[in-house]
Structure 1
């Protein structure tokens, strides 16, 4: 089941600060409630410009506290009780301003006072302009907070509210939720070893040219992160990508398909292998150690191709080192299910995640995906959702399957 209520009875204090990403906090509240959590919320003065106290109260089912110390609130609960009568404090979004207050011990409103007085774990989800995130002051503040044991999730790279692109987007609600679950509950994948491949492979033609593909690695990296948040011991093997290494896992960088296969075999045994990498089917058998030149007539030199090793099929082979669950990906531009079913039979894996990567789909390099999950029981069609949500959904399905089949 996707969405097991593992937070039944756990009390979350959610601090919502003033940034455009505050709108995501409404979805986070809903997801926390769906997991069974009791959510209380503090809104900073600026946060109320982005989300209303009424919407937060309606979703949480609890009174919303703001940045004033009313006598009624102090009598009924008090800021110290509010900060300590919880299992976890979540700050989402965590602006540069609030992170600075936390790092320097300032307490000039209810939110910063509660954060200073709490004795419970704190999880922050930073959100700000990429220049603010990259500023040395913010970096120093985050280092200070992490040194004090404050946990963090994100930020992510992508388009920002100002129309610029960079590292500074608040983590998606699904990512924050999984981080909360990881902190408050023994993850359902605790004790499970997972191997994930991600990104493209580059097959050299010569020292400056290569054969590759358009894979960004976003889906594979998201799956690795989702498995880690559920408690798995994850090794991520990634081809060349422009993504930061996910936290809380071992990351190994490779370039070619042969390097990826050798590295994967060296990581065995594992319980689950998810082969999300877009591995080049061919390598250049006559690759040159020097830059290739056109001949005297201006014609390009011939390129000879040879088949690359099949990583998914190799990991799916029967034997003592075979993972209990092997999941492959089928990226197709036409006849999606027909080609995916053929690959499912041919590779010998347990599941295939089939996705449309035709130019109109926007899958390569994009943040959303539409997939079908093929298993021995048939095909499941998943709606178009973010790659983060695809990863979470797949991670929970893996958890359910491995728990049910030791």
Structure 2
């Protein structure tokens, strides 16, 4: 078991657990701004039961890391836009915003806080349990499940179409045996942890490349070329797109997947819960004949997520690209965008980062 103080010293380890924001609410209730996604510096200080200056000091020392986890300092037009979007009444000329990931990041950097220490201990308890379980192999088809296999057992026969390709078998071995072995070594080793983490990342990169290579080969060997498959996805009706995305969520371990009707959806097409318990709201847009998703659609969805209750993951899936302004709105409101290329890769078997 890793000591919780290791989180204070290892940025790579902190980055590897940033998605486990549900830990915050398990330790103590975190109050959010009216937008349902962010908190201010004062709210972060209240959560960790420290002074505001303590939070400002952490931000000053680790600004780049916190910005990578979503911390923003709003001024000018951005600040006015956020006030209009969230309904905040304030005359301040700047406003520091922390999404839940950044608050969790603060917990892993704040030394003199009992609450922060509780978060770190709880977080590492959960991470230890997760890392000692067999890792799912992303190369497998949705119909083939190997989750019951022991990580040290001999790999079973590959699914049809896979046994003739050595890259598929290697990817399976990496995902089911080598990566779990590194997880156990990292959890128990102190002296060479960083080297092991780097090696594990290299192995995971190799596994992902093999999976992509295998998918390309399969696409070339199938009767329908990859371009035709992509075209069929893009030509889906809106209803078919929504149900297709719901199926992808179920395939990747999401539970409570519910397709909402136009009357009850209120701007949210799907609600679900990720495999690790985070709440999720999804909007699907089939914009055939349009080049990009406009910013107005992102604003409406960001507002709609507040109506359905607490949302940890807001996902906007589109059959086209997003305009620059739309992406800026998404970054500001915490919405994760999935454009045409990412959607097609997701449909081909690549897990979305938001679901990992």
Q: Same fold (TM over 0.5)?
A: no
Structure with a larger share of its residues in helix: 2
Higher relative contact order (CA 8 A, sep 6+): 2
The structure in which a higher percent of residues are strand is 1
Normalising by structure 2, we get a TM-score of: 0.31
